[in-house]
Structure 1
Amino acid sequence: MPASPDKLPFTEAIDFFKQKIRLPSSGWTDIWQEQHSHAFIVAGAAHDALVEDLFNAIQKAKWAGGGYDEFKQSFQDIASKYGWAYNGTPGWRSKIIYDTNITQAYNAGREKQMQAVKHLRPYGVYRHTSTEHPRLHHLAWDGLILPLDDPWWDTHSPQNGWGCKCKKYSLSRLEASREWPKNGKTGPDEAPPIEWEERVVGKNGSNPRTVRTPVGIDPGFAYNPGKAWLEPHTVPPLTGYNAALKERGTPWPTGFKPPALPIPTTVPADIVLPASTAPVVAVTDLLDVFGATLDQGVAFTDAAGSTLAISKALFIKGEDKGGDNFKWLAEPDKIDRLRYINLMAMSIIEPDEIWWDWEKDASEPGNWRLKRRYLRAFDIDGSGKFAISVFEWSRAGWSGATTFTTSKLGYFDRQRKGRLVYKK
């Protein structure tokens, strides 16, 4: 028998968890079903830093620490650190978060293994493992044997509800033939008919919705977590984030058509500032676009629903303290970026695309940080040249760059990395 989800001995489950994009959310209905195979959210955790810490806490507790007991303590510490007012008691909420994420990672990892050897083990068997307070529908499916490609598994592959411990295992033709006579069968079962019902979920949250769910399945669980992971391009847009959730590797995945390149925005040549522009003037121009000043910053919500703090502090580094001293930007290798500060502002406010990628945190081994990348293409009027503006933001800091090309947008395409969360 395979190891329990608490052990997670195989890399497929670990890979499933690590590939998830971490999304701030206002409620658990912000994303739905298959989207959870590509996104990590904690209902009500609405800030990047909070979501990052919760994700890293699960990862450390599972693969480098003391399991749930360690996560439970980390959960309480993180909630206190951010003053997070979550719903439910600490023990109940931390258990739900931990168990659901680990169990679904286990199920997705097993699905990948089963699909890899499907030519040798073509059948799947449903196993109901709960002995205390069994769910009658789940109990009725115990022992059901169907081909792994049967559409029934698309909606009924475990986990099938909050706290559900049911399992799905693969069988060879010989193993299946030995099971059928035990149930008076000579071949695979027929998939049970699926009865659908409408349920309203998230009534007291930020994003209530009416959903169609098979009877016996908790709302939000009527999908195959492994299949959604292995077939990412079938995933619908993320509700509340206008996200395409299409992933790019290098090269593009087989059979995946990359998003069309954007049509560059035509801008006047004088949008590029003179090289002699003083740093304080350039910074003031950018802040003014966002409604901020040198004395007062603002919180800006981007096109994907995430928040950035826009203030003069973005341009103060190291020994620059207070005032309007932007001598860091006046350094020879930094001053050139000020010429394109207007393009950078336009890229943040109205990007062609926003990509989210994750990088290892060099200062804290084992942790990961979210990096947002804002891309926009410009046609500099009268010059015959394109300008590609790239703005990257993370908790560790930001970087901005503008590269001029002649007649192609190949540079834009090379900047597409991670997951596309917004496309104009």
Structure 2
Amino acid sequence: MAESLERLQFAEAIDFYKGKIRLPSSGWTDIWQQQHSHAFVVAGAAQDALVEDFYNAIRQAKDSGLGYPAFRKQFDEIVAKHGWAYNGTPGWRSKVMYRTNVKQAYHAGRYQQMEAVKHLRPYWRYRHTTFENPRLEHKSWDGKILPADSPWWNTHYPQNAWGCNCKVDSLSRVEAKREWEKLGKTGPDEEPEVEWEERVVGKNGSAPRTVRVPKGIDPGFAYNPGKAWLEPHTVPPLEGYDAVLKERGAAWPTGFTPPAMPKPTRVPASVMLPAGTAPEVAVADFLDVFGASMSEGAAFTDAAGSTLAITKALFQDGNGEFKWLAKPRKAGRLEHINLLAMALIEPDEIWWGWVKDHKEPGRWRLKRRYLRAYQVVDNGEYAVGVFEWGSSGWTGSTVFMASQEAEAAREAYFDNQRMGRLVYSK
């Protein structure tokens, strides 16, 4: 059964996994419970590229139906590629990583399916399916039939622990009545009593802290992954990233209103570099703002808590050549490089989106987009600075609109620059 689940493909489970933001982390508990329904982390994987590779490997194994064996092979390749040091043996670590992600995607997808037919199948039954080394608490819940809207499912919907194989079935009124008659009952079971206990988490990576969890459920699993996915506003802010995931996919979620248009930052025309400024000078000015130089880089932590490497490599292509040498028209954009630096340092908004990698079909890459609106004091022009950061470097643009341009047109242009998920708003 475990292997068939690992290979199982259905749209809701795949959508759940696809909708996650990938976050570097020091430990699995850096984010907590419901936040895992919106974020993909690998304990101890602190680099974007490493997290990207693991995410893509799991997704490819799932999408292809090849399952864990395909991921196990890629796990070793990824570890060797990045020189990643991790806890545990390769077989144990890869199996935990793969099966936990696949099972949570499965359970989240099943929850969405059962919610959709709840009016026809209003009862849910807990099923304990671990026969080797069963958890006694989980075994005591086996066969319990409760209304689908019972609060108990908020904390006890599987997966309820590392390696937990428990499931939930949905039942029609007729099916539920038949089960009750077999057991000499006349209606649903009483909700099992929840006994809470304190546990310490974060010993391996993030700072240790004490959390309160129901007895029988491992720390970090006392939540309903599907409900957290479908109700993003119930998810607390991502610790260390200053963000609540407000948006999934291309459309705003139900009930979410995008932030109001930011008030433009007033800047003098002198903040722009003179026309004809040598590209090397413009780049040196940009790097200097972040404490970097042409010969030495610097680390910069943005408003959402992500650390970026600021080096001259931002302005180079894959061959190490400066981008303006291959495409001279790019050099003209450097006149506005100070506005791009300001957008990165103090953005109005930061958006994260995952886009298909055109160079490597089947892979996805993280894009971070920094937006800031400006108004030039000297002539009243409105401008939007867009600084986009990705694994292949940066792209930047600043678009100016004449002072007589209608307010609605300005707002529409800024709104069109929003993409993916909002992770920071000033």
Q: TM (normalized to structure 2)?
A: 0.93
Q: Is this contact kept in 2: 1:29–1:208, CA < 8 A?
A: no
Counterpart residue identity of residue 419, structure 1: R
- Which of the numbers 370, 393, 397 marks the counterpart of 1:397? 393
Structure 2 counterpart of 1:352: 348
Counterpart residue identity of residue 264, structure 1: P
Q: Is this contact kept in 1: 2:315–2:393, CA < 8 A?
A: no
Structure 2 counterpart of 1:373: 369
Structure 1 counterpart of 2:83: 83
1:419 has 2:421 as partner? yes
Q: CA deviation at 1:260?
A: 3.0
Distance 1:318 1:62, change over 3 A: closer
Q: CA deviation at 1:411?
A: 2.0
Distance 1:143 1:293, change over 3 A: same
Q: CA deviation at 1:253?
A: 2.8
Distance 1:3 1:53, change over 3 A: closer
Matches within 5 A, 1:188-227: 188-227=188-227
Taking the aligned partners of 1:79 and 1:95, their CA distance within structure 2 comes to: 14
Matches within 5 A, 1:159-308: 159-247=159-247, 251-308=251-308
Superposed CA deviations along residues 143-189 of structure 1, whole A, max 9, x for unmatched, are 11111111110110000000000000100010001011222211111
Q: CA deviation at 1:42?
A: 0.3
- The worse-fitting range, judged by mean Cα deviation, of 108-117 and 386-395 is 386-395
Taking the aligned partners of 1:375 and 1:49, their CA distance within structure 2 comes to: 23
Q: Is this contact kept in 2: 1:284–1:294, CA < 8 A?
A: yes
Structure 2 counterpart of 1:327: 325
Structure 1 counterpart of 2:142: 142
How many equivalent pairs are there?
420
Superposed CA deviations along residues 254-291 of structure 1, whole A, max 9, x for unmatched, are 32122233232222221122222221221111011011
Taking the aligned partners of 2:219 and 2:334, their CA distance within structure 1 comes to: 51
Counterpart residue identity of residue 229, structure 2: W
Counterpart residue identity of residue 116, structure 1: A
> 1:263 is paired with a residue of what secondary structure?
coil
Q: CA deviation at 1:378?
A: 1.9
Gaps of 5+ in 1: none
Q: Identity of aligned pairs, percent?
A: 67
Q: CA deviation at 1:92?
A: 0.9
Gaps of 5+ in 2: none
Distance 1:158 1:340, change over 3 A: same
> 1:160 is paired with a residue of what secondary structure?
coil
Q: Is this contact kept in 2: 1:8–1:14, CA < 8 A?
A: no
- The worse-fitting range, judged by mean Cα deviation, of 247-256 and 74-83 is 247-256
Q: Is this contact kept in 2: 1:237–1:243, CA < 8 A?
A: yes
- The worse-fitting range, judged by mean Cα deviation, of 66-75 and 129-138 is 66-75
- Which of the numbers 332, 354, 357 marks the counterpart of 1:336? 332
> 1:334 is paired with a residue of what secondary structure?
helix
Q: CA deviation at 1:56?
A: 0.9
Decide which structure has greater helix share. 2
Distance 1:402 1:173, change over 3 A: same
> 2:126 is paired with a residue of what secondary structure?
strand
Q: CA deviation at 1:339?
A: 1.7
